[in-house]
Structure 1
């Protein structure tokens, strides 16, 4: 029992860490997609996309899910790209995994 209990705890903590990372990754990609749609709208701007990403992360749990969030964006004549970067929660002291996701959308325009 003394040998198996540490192994059991290790497996349990690794499973929890994987779930926290997956949740943060899912929130980051969803925020990037939302931001790319906002920035790619006909009247959209890069700052509107960045604001949409920040609002999405805040609504999805904020720092409890994804902390130290930075959002960068770029809008050209044809494409809007947004990158969301932050840190996932961690059950391992002193370790904070980085999550970075990007999304692109076509810019709406009259042709």
Structure 2
């Protein structure tokens, strides 16, 4: 009986500190997964705001009496209303209107929780220009 007790107590002494070693190995991996998930969510949200702003700008510029500058203003206003620099930093919009189509492009940077990485977001929307036709 005493032999078994001695064996189990020596076994417990050999495993002391193993939890600390496991945490040292697992916590950085856990934090990396958490930060990558947060970064993916930030990029996805910034892309969603950028494409919605581009669509809003294209709808405005594609109106019968719309102008490219109206589309740029509408897209910029949408980004500001959606959070501005808290969602899409350094956002800018450009528009190109032809006789048949209008294209609005929104460009900016997503927020980043990973140091040294600043993802660029570029989204465009193209719509036909509204025009009256004779029957």
Query: Deviation at 1:93?
Result: 1.7
Q: Secondary structure at the match of 1:3?
A: helix
Which of 95, 100, 108 is the equivalent residue of 1:86?
108
Hey, what's the Cα distance between the residues in 2 that align with 1:61 and 1:33?
17
Q: Secondary structure at the match of 2:24?
A: coil
Hey, what's the Cα distance between the residues in 2 that align with 1:64 and 1:84?
16
Which of 101, 111, 117 is the equivalent residue of 1:95?
117
How many residues align? The count is 111
Query: Deviation at 1:78?
Result: 0.5
Hey, what's the Cα distance between the residues in 2 that align with 1:80 and 1:38?
10
Normalised to the residue count of structure 1, the TM-score between the two structures is 0.98
**What's the counterpart of residue 8 of structure 2?**
none
**What's the counterpart of residue 46 of structure 1?**
68
Query: Deviation at 1:92?
Result: 1.1
Superposition RMSD in Å: 0.5
**What's the counterpart of residue 29 of structure 1?**
51
Hey, what's the Cα distance between the residues in 1 that align with 2:59 and 2:99?
14
Higher helix share: 2
Q: Secondary structure at the match of 2:74?
A: helix
Higher strand share: 1
Hey, what's the Cα distance between the residues in 2 that align with 1:107 and 1:84?
19
The gaps in structure 1 that reach 5 residues or longer are none
**What's the counterpart of residue 10 of structure 1?**
32
Asked which structure has the greater RCO (Cα within 8 Å, sep 6+), the reply is: 1
**What's the counterpart of residue 107 of structure 1?**
129
Structure 1 residue ranges (4+ consecutive) displaced by more than 2 angstroms after TM superposition: none
- Return the index of the structure with the highest Cα Rg: 2
